[in-house]
Amino acid sequence: MDRLTRYERDGLVFETTDSGPAEGEVVVLLHGFPATRASWRDVVPRLEAAGLRCLVPLQRGYSPGARPRGRRAYRSTELVADVVALLDEAGVDRAHVVGHDWGGAVAWKLAAEHPDRVASLTVLSTPHPAALAASLTSSSQALRSWYMGAFQLPWLPEVLLRRRLAPVLQGTGLPAERAEEYADAMRDSRALTGAIAWYRALWLPGGGARPSLATGRVTVPTRYLWGRHDTALGRRAAELTERHVSGPYRFVELDEGHWLPEVAPRVVAEAVLDAVRAD
């Protein structure tokens, strides 16, 4: 049974589900934009059945009690610190970390900066941030990432997405039921602004996009799963990612799109279990 827990950091209150055997090895699963914990709905039961304890937080901007105003509050340094605080609150020294989309970006940075807290890393869809940056000038990635620039505009992205988020998500391959579920969660204006703030914070000091602040090399055992039909993240960045991992590394290319936790939960769970068993 899922145990809904809460933890605080700097006056913000984060919601997390804690499920599976309490004595099992711990897996932290980080959702992306504009998803919720529901993105892991079909993955977690497979991990629990294998004896793992699963911590699934609703991240900054998504948790109702953790929606600070202003883009500075959504810098990558803050996002990573939120996960470290979760591990501390749960009494976990090291966890197997899994991230998709923006959750993947947080997972990469967490593993690079806190390798002592990460037993293994499994990232879905999102390439290493330095590989993504390099691909912007050597492939079609800049065209794929056009929306990141559009999200820098004030208020207009919220107005447009509040009306059309579900069909936009379906157009990128997300099943209709999940698209409606995620869109419904974003109908709260503060939730949608908080989610978009992750993009708006990118170019701030500590935001993660500037070369001097880019995510460093990852030394922990890493598995990276990428779908060749991903409309947002192209092949060039996926192939460059290996250059930024010096630990044991495995790249898995799937005949899928962007939404791997939702459409390929069995493959995702197997990759995580493989990482846990190899630890």
Domain CATH for 132: 3.40.50.1820
C-alpha 63/C-alpha 76 separation (Å) is: 17
Q: Which residue has the higher pLDDT, 2 or 13?
A: 13
Mean pLDDT score, 185-198: 94
Mean pLDDT score, 146-175: 94
Mean pLDDT score, 53-79: 96
Q: Which residue has the higher pLDDT, 184 or 216?
A: 184
Mean pLDDT score, 164-175: 97
- The first and second tokens of residue 114, run together, are 């806190």
Q: Which residue has the higher pLDDT, 210 or 65?
A: 65
Q: How many domains does the chain have?
A: 1
List all residues 6 or more positions away from 133 whose beta carbon is below 8 Å from its beta carbon.
209, 211, 214
The pLDDT of residue 278 is above 50: yes
pLDDT band at 139 (very low <50, low <70, confident <90, very high): very high
Q: What is the pLDDT of the chain when averaged over all its residues? A: 94
The pLDDT of residue 207 is above 80: no
The pLDDT of residue 234 is above 60: yes
Please give the pLDDT value at position 3.
82
15 φ, ψ (degrees, to nearest 5) = -95, 140
Q: Are 20 and 42 in contact (CB under 8 A)?
A: no
| Residue 272: domain span | 3-278
Please give the pLDDT value at position 1.
55
pLDDT band at 68 (very low <50, low <70, confident <90, very high): very high
- The first and second tokens of residue 261, run together, are 């936790």
